[in-house]
Amino acid sequence: MSFAENPLLETWATPFGLPPFDRIAPEHFRDAYDVAITEHRAEIEAVATSAEPPSFANTVAALERSGRRLSRVSGVFYNLTGAHTSDALRAVEREMSPILARHWSSIYLDARLYARLDRLEVERESLGLSAEEARVLWRHHKAFRRTGAGLPDAARARLAEIAERLAVLSTRFGQNVLADEQSFVLPLAGEEDLAGLPDWLRAAAADAARERGLDGHVVTLSRSLIEPFLTLSPRRDLRERAYLAWIGRGETGGQTDNRALAAEMVALRAEQAAILGYPSYAHFKLDDAMAKNPDNVHELLRGVWEPARALAERERADLDAMLGRDAGAARLAGHDWRFYAERVRRDRFAIDEAEVKAYLPLEGVIAAAFDTASRLFGLSFAERPGLPVYHPDVRAFEVTDRDGRHVGLFLGDYYARPSKRSGAWMSAVRGQRKLDEDVRPIIVNVMNFARGAGEAPTLLSFDDARTLFHEFGHALHGLLSDVTYPSLAGTAVARDFVEFPSQLFEHWLEEPQVLRRFARHHATGEPMPEGLLAKVLAARRFNQGFATVEYCASAAVDLELHLQPSADNLDVVAFEKATLAELAMPEAIAMRHRTPHFTHVFSGGYASAYYSYLWSEILDADGFDAFREAGDPFDPDLARRLRDNVYAAGDLRDPAEAYLAFRGRPPRPEALLRQRGLAA
C-alpha cells in the first residue's frame, strides 16, 4: 500500500490537523506501523552511531524528535481500540502489541544510546542546560537505566523477552474483559422485571437492547447501566444475577478467563524487578513515584483503612435493619448494598435520584465544566461540527485562550456503546510540544453515560457529573500543557501525581455558585431548588465507608500482589481472598476492581500504583482548601499559580516541588480524612 493510498501516511490537511477518521480503516494500520517503525529505527540508529561526541542536541533533542510518525499512528490507533473497537482492530492490536514491545525494548536496551546519555548525565552540571533541558536529560537517562540498558547482554535479552510477553498478556487481558462485558445481557421481561425502575433507567435499558439488536429491555455490564440497576431495582434475584456477572468478569472459566494471565504477569513483573536489582516489582515501580517506597503506601492505606472500615460497619448496620424489614433473616450481600444504601439515603436526606438527575442534563454539566475552566484559566470552547471524528456521537470543540489564540482541540465522547470499553478516561490523539514548532494538542474525554431515549435529554447522576468533571480535569492537564519537549508534556507525570489535577477539578462541581447556575431542570430550565441543593451537598459524604473500603481493598491487593519477590504457581483469586481476610474485609463489600478484571493494573499502567488516587486525594483535598482559605473558589492568583505550576507544567519539575510552588507549603494529609468524612 502506497503513501497515497493510506490516509495514516498522508500529510493531513484537515482542520486543526485532526486525523481523517472518516477515511481510516483497520487495514491501514499494519502498513502504517511498518513504515513508522522503519523510520523510527533509522532515526535511532543515526543517534546511536553518530561519530560526534554526545551533546544535548545530537542525543537528547534528537531522541525527542524521533518517532513522530509512530506517535501519530499510535495516537489514532489506541484511541480507536479503547473507544470504538471492532474485531478487525482487536486482531491488529494482538498482532502489533509484541512487535511494538520489541521495538521499544530495542531502543531502551540499546547500550550505545545509554552510553551517550550516561556521559551527558555525568557532565550535566557543566553543559549549560536550561532547567527544562536538564530535566528531560535526567528523565531519559533514568528511563534507560530503569529499563536495564546498562546491564549485561543476557539480562537485557531477558528483559526484552519479558516486555514482549507482558505486552501480549496485557492486550489479551483487556480484550477479555471487554468480551465479557459485551457478551452479558440480563433481559428484563415485562413489568415484573421492570418494577421500581424510573423512566430514565427503563429508557436506557431499552436503548441497550436496541444497540444489540434485541427487543425489550436489557441490563448490560456498562457501569452507567448496571450501577443504577443495582441501586434502584427491588428485584433481589435480578440484582444478584447482574452483580455476580459484574464481579465475575475475567473469571468465567472459558477463553476469556484472565486468572492465568494475571498470575503470569505478576510473575514476569517480579522477575523483571529482580533483574533490575529491586526486592519486588512494587519497589521498582514506586521508586519513580511520589510515594518512593511501599512502606509509605502501606502507611497511607493503614491510616485510611481502619476508620473507613469502622464507618462501613456502621453503614452496614443501617442497611441490615432495612433488609430485615423486607426479607426477615436474609443476610446483607454485595448485590444488596447499593439498593439499601439508596433507601437509607432517601430516608435520611429525602433525596430521590430521579429528582436530582432532572437537574443534571448532560449539556448543563458540560457547560458547567467549560465555564469553570473559563473562570479559572480564561479558556473558551466553541463547538466545531462537521469535523471528521471517529464516531457520530463524538463532539469537537476548539479551545482558545483569553486572547483568542488556539489552545487545542477537545473531543467529547459521552455515550455508552458496545464498541467501547467500560469506564471513563482521557487520551491524547496528539500531544503538545514546542520543539521545532508549536504543536497544540488534540485531547479526548471518553465516558459511558446511558443516552436518553429518542429526543429525551441524557440525564446524569451526581456521580456521573463528578466523573465528567474528573476526566475534564485530565483533559485540561493535556490542553494547557506548555513545555518544549514532548516527553515532559501534559499528563506525562508521576502516576501518583497525575490524578491530582483531575480530582482537584471535581471540587468545583460541588460549589453552590456553580450548581445554582448550571443545575437546571431539563424541561423547565428552572434552577435546582435551594432545598434540594442543600440536601445534595449534605449527602456528599454519605456511604463513604463503603466507597473507601471497596477502593482501598483494590489498592491493597494490587500492592501485595506486586510485593511478592517471586510468583510461581500463583492463584490470584486465592491470594486476593487471603489478603482481604487479613484486612477483615466486610463481607457485603467487594473490591471495586477484582483481580481477574482489574484493567487498571493488568492493561492500564497502574500496577503497584492503584493507591495513586488516594495519594492524589491528599493533594486535591489540601489544594482546594487553599481556595476556601482565600474565600473565593475562583481566586485569580491561586488559579494562575495552579495553571503555571500544575496544569501547564507537565513534568518540568519534581511533583512535590510543583505542589509547593502552587500551594506555598507541603500538603497536610488530614485534609483527606475530613474530605471523606473519616475525621472531624
Give Cα 229 to chain centroid, integer Å.
Answer: 24
User: Which residue from 112, 132, 110, 107 is spatially nearest to 56, judged by alpha carbons?
Assistant: 132
Cell of 563: 510485593
Cell of 398: 476548539
Query: What is the DSSP track for 484-508?
Result: SSGGGSTT-S-HHHHHHHHHHHHGG
Q: Which residues, 6+ apart, have CB-to-CB distance to 577 below 8 Å? A: none
Torsion 242-248-252-255 (CA) sign: positive
Confirm if 239 and 336 have CB atoms less than 8 A apart. yes
Helix-then-strand count for the chain, H and E: 28, 7
**Hey, what's the torsion of the CAs at 102, 106, 108, 114, to 10 degrees?**
170
Question: Global pTM?
Answer: 0.95
CA atoms within 13 A on the CB side of 302: 7
Q: How confident is the model at residue 327 (pLDDT cuts 50, 70, 90)?
A: confident
The region of weakest confidence among 111-115, 250-254, 327-331 is: 327-331
**Hey, what's the torsion of the CAs at 436, 441, 442, 444, to 10 degrees?**
140
Residue 566, CA distances (Å) to 77, 275, 372 in order: 34, 12, 48
**What is the percent of the chain where pLDDT is above 90?**
93
Give the containing element (helix H, strand E) for 186: strand 186-188
Whether residue 1 has pLDDT greater than 60: no
**What is the percent of the chain where pLDDT is above 70?**
99
Distance CA 131, CA 651 (A): 11
Q: 90-112: per-residue pLDDT in tens? A: 999 999 999 999 999 999 999 99
Give the containing element (helix H, strand E) for 415: strand 406-415
pLDDT at 679: 81
The region of weakest confidence among 25-39, 92-106, 256-270, 317-331 is: 317-331
Which residues are 361's β-sheet partners?
459
pLDDT at 329: 66
Residue 380, CA distances (Å) to 204, 414, 428 in order: 32, 20, 19
Q: 595-612: per-residue pLDDT in tens? A: 999 999 999 999 999 999
pLDDT at 680: 63
Q: How confident is the model at residue 455 (pLDDT cuts 50, 70, 90)?
A: confident
Distance CA 492, CA 651 (A): 6
- Phi/psi zone of residue 18: left (φ > 0), alpha (ψ -120 to 50 degrees), beta? beta
Whether residue 371 has pLDDT greater than 60: yes
Cell of 236: 433481589
User: Which residue from 374, 379, 369, 382 is spatially nearest to 401, judged by alpha carbons?
Assistant: 379
Whether residue 2 has pLDDT greater than 60: no
Q: 636-652: per-residue pLDDT in tens? A: 999 999 999 999 999 99
The whole-number average pLDDT for the span 525-554 is 95
Distance CA 359, CA 181 (A): 30
Mean pLDDT of the chain: 96
Domains of the chain: 3-108+110-147 (1.20.1050.40), 184-247 (no CATH), 357-538 (1.10.1370.40)
Whether residue 448 has pLDDT greater than 90: yes
Distance CA 651, CA 139 (A): 9
Distance CA 182, CA 140 (A): 40
Angle of the 111-122 helix axis to the 131-147 helix axis, nearest 10:
140
Q: Tell which wins on pLDDT, 327 or 614.
A: 614
pLDDT at 352: 86
Distance CA 673, CA 239 (A): 32
Whether residue 3 has pLDDT greater than 80: no
Phi, psi of 400 (to 5 degrees): -130, 165
**Residues shown for the chain:** 680
**Would you name the residues annotated as active-site residues?**
471
CA atoms within 13 A on the CB side of 10: 15
pLDDT at 224: 85
Distance CA 669, CA 680 (A): 13
Task: Report helix, strand or coil for 133.
Answer: helix
- Pairing outcome for strands 217-219 and 186-188: antiparallel
The whole-number average pLDDT for the span 4-28 is 94
Give Cα 165 to chain centroid, integer Å.
Answer: 23
Whether residue 233 has pLDDT greater than 80: yes
Whether residue 77 has pLDDT greater than 80: yes
Quickly list H helices, 569-654: 572-583, 599-602, 612-630, 636-642
The region of weakest confidence among 183-197, 313-327, 580-594 is: 313-327
pLDDT at 4: 64
Whether residue 328 has pLDDT greater than 80: no
Distance CA 417, CA 118 (A): 48
The whole-number average pLDDT for the span 569-592 is 97
The whole-number average pLDDT for the span 590-598 is 97
